[in-house]
Homo-oligomer: A and B are copies of this chain.
């Protein structure tokens, strides 16, 4: 039994004494302790594949920042790799794929991955679970199928993902074939994560925002929906479709439990559009560059705007590496000390 289950109760729509808080990329470079552990691995990919080191940085923010959940340290691009499309992480540039997906033959050559193909993530979860000692829930995750396709076709990060979008416009049938393979892989991967101890699953659709509304429904949301239908009977599921402001209402019609919001979303408007779903977010990460007074004022305003129940406090995106650690702590403490009138 978990000693602190605020996150799960909030995700399930149950009442809580106080709002739970965690931070996207809390296991990351903002912590000097993370950078020390990271230095033990030769490169980012080896770091991700080392269950001991991954578990170490997974647990760090619970101890250091006092957050109400741990999220397993990993990368969304482990799925393309497990399907047969390896990547490199290039310093200051981001991910890069030597081979990209262009044709039906490229798609046919891909595996449907399962948990065995990602055994190092399963081990990282198990080791994290042991180290957490049931203090707080453990979050598992994967990329949304569209976001994974975007990298597999584009071959790297991009401002526009115009190659990946060109693929949707010119080869929609192939896109669906690839999305189906990614979806099946993701469901098996997430079921493995749950068996290895994940208490909640988050889907990251990091590049939802480059799609038009109709393309988001056709090429992204329907596959996230399949994942939600497979996973939400097991543990609560969060959909975080960054910049998909246009789709909040339709996201709320899926079987997800929680909807993640980026910092451009107005809390009251989001409440009006999403029925009884739990909401997560949505402070601007750059708020944590500000002075203490501003951080406390803006965080308090956000807490009041969302209200106590069906709310998980977080940022609207991941922590930036150069945010001051003490400001991150202040954000967490402000949430934990706040009491609704």
Whether A213 sits at the interface, judged by CB under 8 Å, is yes
Whether A4 sits at the interface, judged by CB under 8 Å, is no
Whether A289 sits at the interface, judged by CB under 8 Å, is yes
User: Closest residue of chain B to A164, judged by CB?
Assistant: B286
Q: Give per-residue flags for A75-94: 1 if the beta carbon is below 8 A from chain B beta carbons, else 0.
A: 00000000000000000000
In this complex, the member of A166, A215, A284 whose beta carbon has the largest number of chain B beta carbons within 10 angstroms is A284
Taking a contact as CB atoms under 8 Å apart, the answer to whether B246 and A165 are in contact is no
User: With contacts A160-B320, A246-B266 known, is A169 near B287, CB below 8 A?
Assistant: yes
Q: Give per-residue flags for A233-266: 1 if the beta carbon is below 8 A from chain B beta carbons, else 0.
A: 0000000000101100000000000000001111
CB-defined contacts of A285 to chain B, threshold 8 Å: 160, 162
Whether A212 sits at the interface, judged by CB under 8 Å, is yes
A326 to B159: give the CA distance in the assembly, Å. 25
Taking a contact as CB atoms under 8 Å apart, the answer to whether A162 and B212 are in contact is no
User: With contacts A169-B294, A243-B243 known, is A162 near B264, CB below 8 A?
Assistant: no
Whether A337 sits at the interface, judged by CB under 8 Å, is no
Q: Give per-residue flags for A279-320: 1 if the beta carbon is below 8 A from chain B beta carbons, else 0.
A: 000001111011100100000000000000000000000001
Whether A209 sits at the interface, judged by CB under 8 Å, is yes
Q: Tell me which of B166, B245, B269 contacts A264 (CB under 8 A).
A: B245
User: With contacts A160-B320, A243-B243, A266-B246 known, is A169 near B213, CB below 8 A?
Assistant: no
A170 to B289: give the CA distance in the assembly, Å. 7
A286 to B211: give the CA distance in the assembly, Å. 10
A265 to B166: give the CA distance in the assembly, Å. 20
A271 to B227: give the CA distance in the assembly, Å. 35
CB-defined contacts of A162 to chain B, threshold 8 Å: 285-286, 289, 320, 322
Q: Give per-residue flags for A214-226: 1 if the beta carbon is below 8 A from chain B beta carbons, else 0.
A: 0100000000000
Q: Tell me which of B168, B209, B286 contacts A166 (CB under 8 A).
A: B286
Taking a contact as CB atoms under 8 Å apart, the answer to whether A266 and B169 are in contact is no
CB-defined contacts of A243 to chain B, threshold 8 Å: 209, 243, 264
A159 to B209: give the CA distance in the assembly, Å. 13
* CB proximity to B under 8 Å, residues A45-66: none
User: Closest residue of chain B to A247, judged by CB?
Assistant: B264
CB-defined contacts of A294 to chain B, threshold 8 Å: 169
A287 to B214: give the CA distance in the assembly, Å. 12
In this complex, the member of A212, A245, A265 whose beta carbon has the largest number of chain B beta carbons within 10 angstroms is A212
Nearest first, the 7 closest Cβ-Cβ pairs linking A and B are A165-B286, A169-B290, A166-B289, A212-B284, A245-B245, A169-B289, A212-B263
17 cross-chain CB contacts under 8 A: A159-B159, A162-B286, A162-B322, A169-B290, A170-B289, A170-B290, A170-B291, A209-B243, A211-B264, A212-B263, A212-B284, A213-B266, A243-B243, A243-B264, A245-B245, A245-B264, A246-B265
What is A's interface to B at a CB cutoff of 8 Å? Answer: 159-160, 162, 165-166, 168-170, 209, 211-213, 215, 243, 245-246, 263-266, 269, 284-287, 289-291, 294, 320, 322
